[in-house]
Amino acid sequence: MSAKSTAGGDFNWIAPVYDALSFMVFGHRLQWAQLVFLDRIPVGASVLIVGGGAGWLLEQVLTRCQPKRMVYLDASSQMVARASRRMIHKALVGSVDFRVGNETALLPGEQFDVIITAFVLDLFTETTLQTSFIPQLLAVLKPTGLWFITDFVQTNIWWQKALLWSMIRFFRLIAGLNVRALADWRQCLHKSELVLLERKSQVGGMVSTEVWIR
């Protein structure tokens, strides 16, 4: 789970240790899951990353995909600061507009070829996804634009269900997350008339990496 809008919790104070916590539980598997379909991003695309955290995914997109323009949007000022420092430290080349805020901070008339949300949808209730989050992102996605998603999904394996339950409770406590269960975000996307292009199961089936199109 990553740093997002106020409705999705406040991740400012955990920003310095977030990546380390993720590694302790999953190793590199959550990072590897985000790489699966990056080669589908067209060269020269305009890309919006929402809730990008400390900048690892930004680095991958810049070095692998050759985007023309990127907006890096995260509700946590600490995450944005870490991402921008990472770009400088790694000498990454590219046009990146760093912004602190949620999806409502997107500018009128902005349009993107690609939207990327990695471990974002799990932070919201289905009501918030359907009435606010998804419609606001669709408003800036081009008519033939692609939405790349990597996120947790419901599972029937008992230990995975227990781990997801524990993660939700943990982030409810430390980040003020207001969800009590993992939303069926796939159903929310279907209701928004998005179409699934590709899907690959990750992390033993508890994570899915997917590409959706309008």
Range of the domain at 200: 6-213
Q: What's the domain count of the chain?
A: 1
Token pair, residue 194, equals: 């998005």
- Structure confidence by residue, pLDDT tens digits, 15-27: 777 788 888 889 9
Cite the DSSP H helix spans in the chain.
Answer: 18-26, 29-34, 56-65, 77-89, 126-128, 134-138, 158-175, 185-191
Q: Find the CATH number of the domain harbouring 107.
A: 3.40.50.150
Confidence check: pLDDT of 202 > 80: yes
Confidence check: pLDDT of 4 > 70: no
Strands 112-118 and 141-152: parallel
Domain presence at residue 47: yes
- Structure confidence by residue, pLDDT tens digits, 132-182: 999 999 999 999 999 999 999 999 999 999 999 998 898 888 777 788 899
Domain presence at residue 1: no
Q: Which residue has the higher pLDDT, 79 or 4?
A: 79
pTM beyond 0.85, yes or no: yes
State the pLDDT at residue 3: 38
Domain presence at residue 30: yes
